[in-house]
Amino acid sequence: MPEDELLQTTDAAPPASRIEQSGGGGGDAPASDDKPVQGPRFNAPVAQGGYSWWYVDALSDDGRNGITIIALVGSVFSPYYAAMRRRGGGDPLEHVSLNVAIYGEGKRWSMTERGSDAVKRDKTWLQIGPSSLEWRDGALTIHIDEIAVPLPKRIRGTVRVYPTAVHGKPYQLDSAGRHFWEPIAPCARVEVDLKRPALRWSGEGYLDSNRGDEPLEAAFKRWDWSRTALKRGAAVLYDVTGRDGDGPTLGLRFDPNGDVKPFEAPPFAQLPSTLWRVQRGTRVDRQGGARVVKTLEDTPFYARSVLETNILGETATAMHESLCLDRFNSRWVQTLLPFRIPRAMR
């Protein structure tokens, strides 16, 4: 069905007061006060060559639709950022993007990279080009106004994340203490209200953040990660292989009221490789198993999948990702990436 005429971008514009306090040019907006923020802190410093990202995923209650959104300062998978680092540079504010992937009805994908003149931020608000994220009253609102690739279709609308509880503890992922993961809201309700494509649904979701003082590929060879919606709360598994050997295997159970309980990660189970031959694996109860229900994204170095798995005595649905950073760092993958990650002129 042909796309209808383009709509106006008013739903993605930040409040006028935000624009005024952002000042001229790109970069950081002055903080309005010194009160601590419980939730995303969008103006946290990012090291030269490093990164910060804020990640949201959700699956609809009927299982027909899904979405992932990643706001990146220091876009970790950018071929342009990688090239600058190889030349000894690497200002993270010159490489920012909002990655949006819609699964199911209206399927489309976007990840346009922008420079420092397109980013403005303070503690609770982040603007990347025409899109923005705002943390207010314990919830995250994301206004999306992006163009999908390779077919130039619009992605426009609003996604809201309502945590049942907010967590603030970061977990170290590498031996040198340069990479951290923070599960901000492992248990959340997500409401998706898009005009382009025309979609409205809600479901269980998740919000976290990662940050690092160096490129991902400097510390890691690969990882498998998953979050599983349980009957009560959620379970997260983080299985990391570092450059200096196996990293931590984290198993955490999150209660909706905010309690966090580590658990011993169960045995590793190999999953079928993707069409691009990316290896996938997860951890499942000894008396259970896991299967790939659907592969949502299949790229030369990264795969996102929906699993049916058994964890903590439950059979449940999991959002799963596998990342191979040796593949990402290879010359042939770096040559392909600009076709999926365009660089905006402004």
Domain ranges in the chain are 43-214, 217-336
> What's the rounded Cα separation, in Å, for the pair 120 and 301?
30
Asked whether the predicted pLDDT for residue 277 surpasses 60, the reply is yes
Beta-strand relationship, 291-298 and 171-172: unpaired
Supply the pLDDT for residue 55.
Answer: 98
pLDDT in tens, 101-157: 999 999 999 999 999 999 999 999 999 999 999 999 999 999 999 999 999 999 999
Domain boundaries 43-214, CATH class? mainly beta
Mean pLDDT is lowest, of 231-240, 241-250, 321-330, for 241-250
Closest CA to 56 of 115, 126, 118: 126
Asked whether the predicted pLDDT for residue 21 surpasses 90, the reply is no
Asked whether the predicted pLDDT for residue 203 surpasses 60, the reply is yes
Asked whether the predicted pLDDT for residue 256 surpasses 70, the reply is yes
Supply the pLDDT for residue 13.
Answer: 39
If pLDDT is split at 50, 70 and 90, which confidence band does 35 have? low
The two structure tokens encoding residue 123: 């503690």
Are 159 and 144 within 8 A, CB to CB?
yes
Per-residue pLDDT, averaged over 214-230, amounts to: 97
Helices (H), 51-186: 79-86
Closest CA to 208 of 190, 193, 187: 187
Per-residue pLDDT, averaged over 282-290, amounts to: 96
Supply the pLDDT for residue 311.
Answer: 98
If pLDDT is split at 50, 70 and 90, which confidence band does 345 have? confident
Asked whether the predicted pLDDT for residue 24 surpasses 60, the reply is no
In order of 49, 50, 119, 171, 337, the CA distances from 116 in angstroms are 15, 15, 5, 29, 21
Cis before 300 (ω within 30): no
Determine what percent of the chain is predicted with pLDDT higher than 70.
89
3 state SS of 338: helix
User: Could you write out the three-class secondary structure of 56-74?
Assistant: EEEEECCCCCEEEEEEEEC
If pLDDT is split at 50, 70 and 90, which confidence band does 27 have? low
The average confidence (pLDDT) of the chain is 90
Q: Where are the beta strands (DSSP E) in 17-124?
A: 27-28, 51-60, 66-73, 96-103, 108-114, 119-122
Supply the pLDDT for residue 56.
Answer: 98
If pLDDT is split at 50, 70 and 90, which confidence band does 34 have? low
Mean pLDDT is lowest, of 79-83, 199-203, 207-211, 342-346, for 342-346
Are 300 and 327 within 8 A, CB to CB?
yes
The two structure tokens encoding residue 73: 């300062």
Asked whether the predicted pLDDT for residue 93 surpasses 80, the reply is yes
Supply the pLDDT for residue 247.
Answer: 75
Per-residue pLDDT, averaged over 178-182, amounts to: 97
For the chain, give me the number of helices (H) and strands (E)?
5, 22
Closest CA to 311 of 223, 246, 238, 251: 251
The two structure tokens encoding residue 154: 């619009």
Are 230 and 263 within 8 A, CB to CB?
no
Query: Dihedral angle at the C-alpha atoms of 48, 224, 147, 65, nearest 10 degrees?
Result: -150
Asked whether the predicted pLDDT for residue 33 surpasses 90, the reply is no
If pLDDT is split at 50, 70 and 90, which confidence band does 161 have? very high
Q: What is the pTM of this model?
A: 0.90
